[in-house]
Structure 1
Amino acid sequence: MMKSIVEYKDYRQYIQDYYDERKRSSAFTWREFAKIAGFASGSYLKLVCDGKTRLREEGAKKTALAMGMLGFEYDYFVLMVRYENAKTEQQKKKCFEEMQALSEAHHVKILGSDLYTFYETWKHSVVRELAVAMPGAKPHEIAKACRPAISAADVSASLNFLLKAGLLTRDIKGNYHQTNRSLSTGRLNVVAVAVHSLLRQMGEFALDALDKLPISERHFSGITMGVTAESYAKVVEELAACRKRIVSIVSADKKIEKVCRLNMQLFPLTENLNCDPTDLGKGV
């Protein structure tokens, strides 16, 4: 029995699971599948599932009909394809919000939608920390502790969301507790769009901190370095390990004094030099 379509974020995986389900109970083939969907190539949908090509809008609609989809499921599948093909974060965000609205209208919860909402704004992550660090504090008190300051209404809305999403709990005394000390986006592709938005916000805050905070309250450093593909991969691994060690350090704290943000950034400042010099600057 296949999972509900809203448990999928990868339309290729959904097609593969549909094929495997049909194959288990019949002599169903990729050629037959493609023929039902109206594709000239008998191997087309197999190539789609292998990541060697992709569905476009019309192909998505034909494939959905070939899998017997109607109504809500048909629309959701087409939106999954549209999401995958979107070229900008704004387009992806719009597609996911349409998927959310579609699922809510049919009283179905999208896997990962709470994490998407959580990472869409910096406020939720900060309020989640402050609510625990300031037992008994009112929303306006938590709001004043934020930098930059936010409204009490923003804090109340965030607290309600965090409770509803299960990211915070509240005891009989009204104090908040985190269900998990740290969160991870895992491999939810759809969450990555919201994370990009959060990283952009946090990057802007870092620029403000560079100008407005004394050196004693901030730590900025960087390295400009030449690398190979091999050393680059090793640096990425080292950063990931460092991040895990830092999470372990702060998770051991029983009580916090302030909420801080650590940005880790690694990006190229030049073109790839291991190529024909005449190609540099041509966007090759």
Structure 2
Amino acid sequence: MKSVLEYKDYHLFMQDYYDERKRLGAFSWREFCKSAGFTSPNFLKLVCMGQSKLSKVKARAVAQAMKLVDYEEDYFCELVTFCNAEKDSVKKDALLEMQKIALEHKVRVVDGEAFQYYESWKYPVLRELVPMMPGATARDIAEECKEHVSAEEVHDILSFLVKAGFLKKDGEKVYSQTEQTVIGSKEALPIAIRSMHREMANMAVRAVDRYSPNERFFTGVTLSVNQEASNRIVEEINACCKKVLSIANEYKDLDQVCRINFQFFPVTEKIKEVRHA
């Protein structure tokens, strides 16, 4: 079976471990539980089915029962923390620790690149800006940004974007975009994107007073919906995003980087029962 370092869900790893042991010979959930120190003969089966959680305290005992040693055991314990955590900050810390362990043992974890790309507005903005400024120095690029970024940061970010495949270096201080997109696991990427949404939303708040009305466009509506209407609105917003990108791609003489935020979120609880007068 695959190395534990290739997993992002401890439930799947434990299930694969059980299936592999079962395939090789007689093995039962009772035996698995007993070897990990559980009195319940079906507890680990319930964990694998997602009906119960493996505690942080018991994670190491289960890792040892599966004969994980050294860095594999540490990775599994971080994996349990990652899957069980409810706070994004805890999930991110666990995933970055998993990435560190994996990189030290020559296993590439692409989610680390997703986190780095989305951890700051600077990465996507510079990816758009730099191709429009051939020959520009890092200081020149930094001075064109509305939000503060240092020349040293620009240099480091460009190095990352090239190394990760988001920009291509065509010559001295000349860059072009690649078709590379940010790829991450279904467990990790939403955490990274939520971080970017928070940062971009804060920038939008500052933009209300920073720019005159002819430099920015803000609008919004408050409306009542049901689930079907909500689903259709989300589809319409997604279609609008694609249309906006297609319009921008029609032009070659680009001279500025902008950001569009669409926010559609509840401001009340769902009414469980409609009351009629």
Structure 2 length-normalised TM: 0.89
Corresponding residue of 1:152: 151
CA root-mean-square deviation = 2.3
Corresponding residue of 1:281: none
Instruction: Tell me how far 1:276 sits from its aligned partner.
Output: 9.7
2:161 paired with 1:167: no
- Say whether the 8 Å CA contact 2:111–2:185 is kept in structure 1: no
Instruction: Tell me how far 1:78 sits from its aligned partner.
Output: 0.4
SS at match of 2:214: helix
Instruction: Tell me how far 1:252 sits from its aligned partner.
Output: 4.6
Deviations along 1:137-158, one digit per CA (max 9) or x if unpaired, are: 1111111111113111110010
Q: Which amino acid aligns with 2:270?
A: N
262 and 68 in structure 1: CA distance in 2 versus 1, 3 angstrom threshold: same
Instruction: Tell me how far 1:187 sits from its aligned partner.
Output: 4.5
Of 231, 234, 237, 2:232 maps to 234
Corresponding residue of 1:280: none
Corresponding residue of 2:16: 17
Q: Find the aligned partners of 1:213 and 1:56 in 2 and give their Cα distance.
A: 50
Q: Find the aligned partners of 2:249 and 2:26 in 1 and give their Cα distance.
A: 54
Corresponding residue of 2:187: 189
Of 169, 174, 199, 2:197 maps to 199
Q: Find the aligned partners of 2:273 and 2:40 in 1 and give their Cα distance.
A: 37
Q: Find the aligned partners of 1:46 and 1:190 in 2 and give their Cα distance.
A: 25
Structure 1 length-normalised TM: 0.87
Deviations along 1:181-219, one digit per CA (max 9) or x if unpaired, are: 6x3556432233332222111111101111121222212
Q: Find the aligned partners of 1:250 and 1:18 in 2 and give their Cα distance.
A: 49
SS at match of 2:15: helix
- Say whether the 8 Å CA contact 2:114–2:184 is kept in structure 1: no
Corresponding residue of 1:257: 255
2:61 paired with 1:79: no
Fraction of identical pairs, as percent: 41
2:80 paired with 1:96: no
Q: Find the aligned partners of 2:50 and 2:105 in 1 and give their Cα distance.
A: 31
103 and 133 in structure 1: CA distance in 2 versus 1, 3 angstrom threshold: same
Corresponding residue of 2:212: 214
2:221 paired with 1:223: yes
Q: Find the aligned partners of 2:241 and 2:183 in 1 and give their Cα distance.
A: 14
- Say whether the 8 Å CA contact 2:141–2:154 is kept in structure 1: yes
- Say whether the 8 Å CA contact 1:12–1:49 is kept in structure 2: yes
Corresponding residue of 1:143: 142
For this pair of structures, how many residues does the alignment match?
275
185 and 265 in structure 1: CA distance in 2 versus 1, 3 angstrom threshold: farther
- Say whether the 8 Å CA contact 2:30–2:41 is kept in structure 1: yes
SS at match of 1:169: strand
221 and 44 in structure 1: CA distance in 2 versus 1, 3 angstrom threshold: same
Instruction: Tell me how far 1:106 sits from its aligned partner.
Output: 3.4
Instruction: Tell me how far 1:255 sits from its aligned partner.
Output: 4.3
- Say whether the 8 Å CA contact 2:110–2:184 is kept in structure 1: no
Query: Which runs of 4 or more aligned residues in structure 1 lie more than 4 Å from their structure 2 counterparts after TM superposition?
Result: 184-187
Matches within 5 A, 1:29-68: 29-68=28-67
Q: Find the aligned partners of 2:252 and 2:22 in 1 and give their Cα distance.
A: 54
SS at match of 2:188: helix
SS at match of 1:225: coil
| Unaligned stretches of 5+ residues in structure 1 | 278-284
Q: Find the aligned partners of 2:273 and 2:184 in 1 and give their Cα distance.
A: 35
Q: Which amino acid aligns with 1:217?
A: E
Deviating more after overlay: 92-101 vs 145-154: 92-101
